[in-house]
Amino acid sequence: LNFALTPKDVPTLDIITSIEETCQKLSEDVSNEFRIRSKMILEKPLKIKSNISKEEMLALKELKNDKDIKILPADKGNATVIMNTGDYNSKISNLITEGQYTKLNKDPTKNTPHFIEKLTTINIDSTELLVSFDVVSLFTNVPVDKTLSIVRNKLENDNNLKIEQN
């Protein structure tokens, strides 16, 4: 299925990210004007109209809630696969038991210093930057505004950083 449902909400974060990526390629004056106009547009309330009927939405919900089937993207090609849950579980079990996987009895990372020690063995190219966004409340006294300013400045001014676009 090469089809996307209309999102329930405006993907504001994705839009802002795209705006900032574009602003990095513009002069400061043009990028500031672009940000201001974009902000004005994003602040307006927008009602998103669905691109499918209520009946189609109900059918999709029923498929999603059906515990007897699994709906997955195909390994190759732009297709969707619907599998019996039992068959799916059997294939996953075979992958795990016959594959290259080893069961861990516990998290191999003992604590933060141990994690840092493991990180020192990772080779990072000069065009790469290691960042963690999943840490919650680790540095509760770090000023968020200042941190964002530093990160933004680094992204905008460091010519060694390459921003990959998908």
The answer to whether the CB of 36 falls within 8 A of the CB of 9 is: no
Contact 7, 48 (CB under 8 A): yes
Closest CA to 87 of 95, 76, 98: 95
Report helix, strand and coil shares of the chain as percent, to nearest 5: 45, 5, 50
Torsion from C-alpha of 125, 129, 135, 138, nearest 10 degrees: 100
Work out whether strand 80-84 and strand 69-73 pair parallel, antiparallel, or are unpaired. Answer: antiparallel
> What's 3's DSSP letter?
-
Tell me the HSE value of 130 on the side-chain side, using a 13 A CA sphere. 8
Question: Whole-angstrom Cα distance, residue 148 to residue 155?
Answer: 10
Residue pair 165/21 in contact (Cβ under 8 Å)? The answer is yes
Residues 6+ apart with CB under 8 A from 24: 31, 155, 156, 163
Using alpha carbons, select from 74, 67, 14 the residue that is nearest to residue 42: 14
The pLDDT profile of the chain, 166 residues, written as one tens digit per residue, is: 456 778 877 888 888 989 998 998 999 999 999 999 999 998 887 788 888 999 998 998 999 999 999 998 887 777 888 999 999 999 888 888 887 778 888 887 888 888 888 888 888 888 887 776 655 555 556 667 777 888 888 777 777 766 655 4
Domain ranges of the chain: 66-103
What's the predicted TM-score (pTM) here? 0.42
